[in-house]
Amino acid sequence: MAHCTVPEAEAILDEEFKVHEKGFVRLVDYLGGDARIVQAARVSYGEGTKTVREDAGLIDYLLRNEHTSPFEQVVLTFHIKMPVFVARQWIRHRTARVNEISGRYSVMKDEFWLPAPEALARQSSDNKQGRASEPLPPDEAAKAIAALERGQKAAYAEYKALVDSGLARELARVNLPLSMYTEWYWQIDLHNLFRFLALRMDAHAQREIRDYASVLFGIARKVCPLACASFERHALGGVRLSAEEAAALRRLLEGREGGEGGEGGEGGSVPAGLSGRELERLMQKLAKAPSGK
């Protein structure tokens, strides 16, 4: 295979893309691009397609049909600075290679994440792990931010005093809060990056890690624009249906169910065999998909 160089990716190497006030994402290095995906796929059946349009069609076919191995040929290495609470969610994705700054070797910096006022909300009443959509009133948000900042300053002052007293760094760090910034090098192939993005760009993911995921996706677009366009079409903009949901939609498309004036949603048709929570889940999935307008 010829060496794949992508001019758009070369142009942003080592550029810091800011996330929140103090965080960032940098593309440190990359291996391959759209051309590498196509080259890897062609090994299976000869020369095959050659034009950009044909390459886009091949990449779209591979992603649509979950032929994932050619996407694993592309590897991206990022330098990322993020709060520890984001890193702890991030590390749940175990298909990457990670080197993180160590509080055993280094004195941690006095850098902490604070939320923007509009990001503060009460606990959601119907989601045990998320916040409500309505932000706090400005005065309550200001009080919450001030309380977080006081806790951060106190924790770091105690940490620094313990370090200066000679206590081992690996012990002095243990009371530092989740809002402290950490840094790591994160290397991942494109297939597994797409799996990460599908989960972390979803509306159900925590807002702060979604912010990082959006920046990662913007960088990945520079490396593999055709693959990212296909991913956006089939993963970010698509929905997965259960067998019952697919059958219900098939009946509707075949004209076997409902009709004008019938009971139910828009257009008056009700998917047969679905009701209550099942129907609600289907409508939520369809609401996620682009309208095409």
Per-residue pLDDT of the chain (293 residues; tens, 9 = 90+): 456 799 999 999 999 999 999 999 999 999 999 999 999 998 755 555 567 788 999 999 999 999 999 999 999 999 999 999 999 999 999 999 999 999 999 999 999 999 999 999 999 988 888 999 899 999 999 999 999 999 999 999 999 999 999 999 999 999 999 999 999 999 999 999 999 999 999 988 999 999 999 999 999 999 999 999 999 998 998 888 888 888 877 777 666 544 444 444 444 455 556 677 777 777 776 666 555 44
Q: Enter the tokens of residue 5.
A: 């160089």
Q: Find the helix or strand (DSSP H, E) in which 221 lies.
A: helix 207-223
Q: What are phi and psi of 259, to 5 degrees?
A: 140, 175
Alpha carbon separation from 63 to 60, 72, 228, 253 (Å, rounded): 5, 12, 10, 26
* N-terminal to C-terminal alpha carbon distance within the chain: 42
Candidates 178, 191, 201; CA nearest to 62 is 191
β-pairing, 121-123 vs 97-100, is: unpaired
Half-sphere exposure of 130 (CA within 13 A, CB side): 14
The confidence score (pLDDT) of residue 264 equals 46
- Domain boundary assignment for the chain: 7-105+179-236, 117-175, 243-288
Write down the catalytic residue from 92, 200, 240, 256.
Answer: 200
Other Cβ atoms less than 10 A from the Cβ of 157: the count is: 11
Classify domain 7-105+179-236 at the CATH class level.
Answer: alpha beta
Please confirm, yes or no, whether 281 is among the known catalytic residues: no
Measured CA to CA, the distance from residue 8 to residue 28 in angstroms comes to 14
Number of helices and strands (H, E) in the chain? 11, 7
For residues 292 and 1, give the distance between their C-alpha atoms in angstroms, rounded to a whole number: 39
The predicted structure's pLDDT at residue 286: 66
